[in-house]
Amino acid sequence: MIVMKFGGTSVANYEAITRMISIVRGKLEERPVVVVSALSKVTDMLYRISDRAAARDREEADALLAQLRERHLTLAGELLGTGGKLYEEACAKVNSICDALCSFVSAVCAVGELSPRSKAIIISNGEYLSSNIICCAMNAAGIRTHYMDARSMIITDDDYLKGEPDMKAIAANTPEIVLQAYQDADAVITQGFVSATGSGEPTVLGRGGSDYSASLIGMAIDASRIEIWTDVDGVRTADPRRVPDTRCLDRISFEEAAEMAHFGAKVLHPLTIEPAIRKNIPIYVLNSMNPSGEGTAILQSQFIEDGVKSVSCKENIYVINIFSTKMINTSGFLKKVFEIFSEHKVSVDLISTSEANISVTVDSSQKIDDVVSALSEFADVYVDTDKSQVSVIGKNIVSLKGLLEQTFAPLRECKIYMISQGASYVNISFVVDRAVLDDVVRQIHKYLFCM
């Protein structure tokens, strides 16, 4: 069995879904589990709807809900032709999902309060809409397709907006559900991103989480391969939207891919690699607009050569600077600091310390207010919000002679605030002013890959 995940742009409209269906048709012999994201931009719209509902802006919320319904009904008509059983079925599904969503949003508008649980319910509708329509379209195209609700497979804790998967429960339930679904089907389809607690309360895996869903399912069913179908030819030496002249990488290691994803390469959700590593399942990143391309294979490190593979960056990070004279000559201070981060579930990327100062970087998607106030009880804390983080990633780069010189040579004029060379041998990261990020990344990329 294989898992094939199609991202938002790969299911954005009639043309994309038609292409997607023909890609799946070519792999039916391998019994694909198809995982789909919401149509492009739909999840953003659902976030907007939940924000408007919380602000009791009924007018805008209703206008957006109407657009959402319209887009999906129109798409169903384009894919299935108006009239006919499958068209009726798809429209009934779209209308019932949209009706339930409208009632829910109107209840949120009435109270003007949005809990994480309510938000998770709202933002997960994009995947339910897309998967229902695509299931009908696959059946209409002659592929007998069975619909599965990912919430019966992807079990998480009760962190509603960034559920932590319960690997044991996922591994225990999923194979049976998929086998059952396959009994009289040529393919099965399910949603990315959405998940549920053990007691069935809706959660989601966080932004971009469909990649993670695909690898969790792949792990659970011992897939022979996980395919991530997206809008670029594979993993590249840098984000092509930010840097000119990037190159596609034929193969990279699990560790390199994990570091790239964690340090800003949006092409994969940061946690995608972990479930695949557990079962040593290769991941392929492929372009749904160029299905005959080779893409990038993500494999065990032994098959990958040493050397620099990419420059990744996170544009918007927080640098938390913690100053305390109590740190000097005392033990236990670092422990106290990091216990606070751990209690508030804020994960730290880079760390640097000196005698009376600790600086750490954290991703700006995390809520740091409580951490800052807890730290402020015993230290002076200052948060920088106008900084970015750049990472040079590649297997064994730490042992490459002259790499630091090469990396920093183009940056003679640029202020560097923190440098961290991880013990992983895969990553050298540093912090610069956000205003110079694009320039820095382009210069380093040019120096490392184009000279």
Mark the segment that binds ligand ADP (CB under 6 A) among 179-187, 259-267, 353-361, 365-373. 259-267
Check whether 163 is labelled as a binding-site residue.
no
Q: Minimum CB separation from ligand ADP for residue 62, in Å?
A: 27
What is the arrangement of strands in the sheet containing 225-230, beginning at the earlier edge strand? 145-147, 187-191, 32-36, 2-6, 225-230, 283-287, 296-299, 251-253
Distance CA 19, CA 328 (A): 62
Query: Regarding beta strands 296-299 and 283-287, do their DSSP bridges make them parallel or antiparallel, or are they unpaired?
Result: antiparallel
Instruction: Please list, in sequence order, all residues whose beta carbon lies within 8 angstroms of the beta carbon of residue 331, skipping any fewer than 6 positions away.
Output: none
Of the two residues 1 and 42, which places its CB atom closer to ligand ADP in the complex? 42
Of the two residues 37 and 429, which places its CB atom closer to ligand ASP in the complex? 37
Check whether 8 is labelled as a binding-site residue.
yes
Q: Minimum CB separation from ligand ADP for residue 161, in Å?
A: 18
Of the two residues 126 and 163, which places its CB atom closer to ligand ADP in the complex? 126
The two three-digit tokens of residue 359, written as one number: 């600086």
Taking CB under 6 A as the rule, which mask of x and - marks residues 366-395 in contact with ligand ADP? ------------------------------
Look at residue 414 and give its three-state secondary structure.
coil
Taking CB under 6 A as the rule, which mask of x and - marks residues 194-213 in contact with ligand ASP? -------------xxxx---
**Backbone phi, then psi, for 386, in 5-degree steps?**
-110, 35
The closest of 127, 119, 125 to 54, measured between CA atoms, is 119
265 binds, among Mg ion, ligand ASP, ligand ADP, none (CB under 5 to 8 A by kind): ligand ADP
Q: Which of 185, 238, 320, 337 binds ligand ADP (CB under 6 A)?
A: 238
Q: Which amino acid is at 78?
A: E
Q: Minimum CB separation from ligand ASP for residue 130, in Å?
A: 9
Q: What is the per-residue DSSP string for 375-411? A: HHTTSEEEEEEEEEEEEEEEETGGGSTTHHHHHHGGG
The two three-digit tokens of residue 421, written as one number: 């060379």
- Kindly identify the residues of this chain, within the stretch 169-228, that bind Mg ion according to CB under 5 A: 208
Q: Minimum CB separation from ligand ADP for residue 166, in Å?
A: 24
Q: Does 231 bind ligand ADP (CB under 6 A)?
A: yes
Of the two residues 90 and 265, which places its CB atom closer to ligand ADP in the complex? 265
Q: Which of 83, 184, 200, 241 binds ligand ADP (CB under 6 A)?
A: 241
Check whether 246 is labelled as a binding-site residue.
no
Q: What is the per-residue DSSP string for 307-344? A: EEEEEEEEEEEEEEEEE-GGGTT-SSHHHHHHHHHHHT
Of the two residues 7 and 394, which places its CB atom closer to ligand ASP in the complex? 7
Taking CB under 6 A as the rule, which mask of x and - marks residues 140-179 in contact with ligand ASP? ----------------------------------------
Residues pairing with 353 in the sheet:
358
Q: What is the DSSP letter of 32?
A: E
Contact yes or no for 190/217 (Cβ under 8 A):
yes
Q: Which of 4, 7, 16, 218 binds ligand ADP (CB under 6 A)?
A: 7
Q: Minimum CB separation from ligand ASP for residue 148, in Å?
A: 17
Check whether 266 is labelled as a binding-site residue.
yes
Distance CA 147, CA 181 (A): 8
Contact yes or no for 190/35 (Cβ under 8 A):
yes
Of the two residues 43 and 312, which places its CB atom closer to ligand ASP in the complex? 43
Distance CA 257, CA 449 (A): 18
Residues of the binding site? 5-8, 43, 127, 230-231, 241, 266-267
Residues of the binding site for substrate? 43, 127
> Which residues sit at the interface with ligand ASP, rule CB under 6 A?
7-8, 37-38, 43, 126, 192-193, 207-210
> Which residues sit at the interface with ligand ADP, rule CB under 6 A?
7-10, 37, 208, 230-232, 235-236, 238-241, 265-267, 310
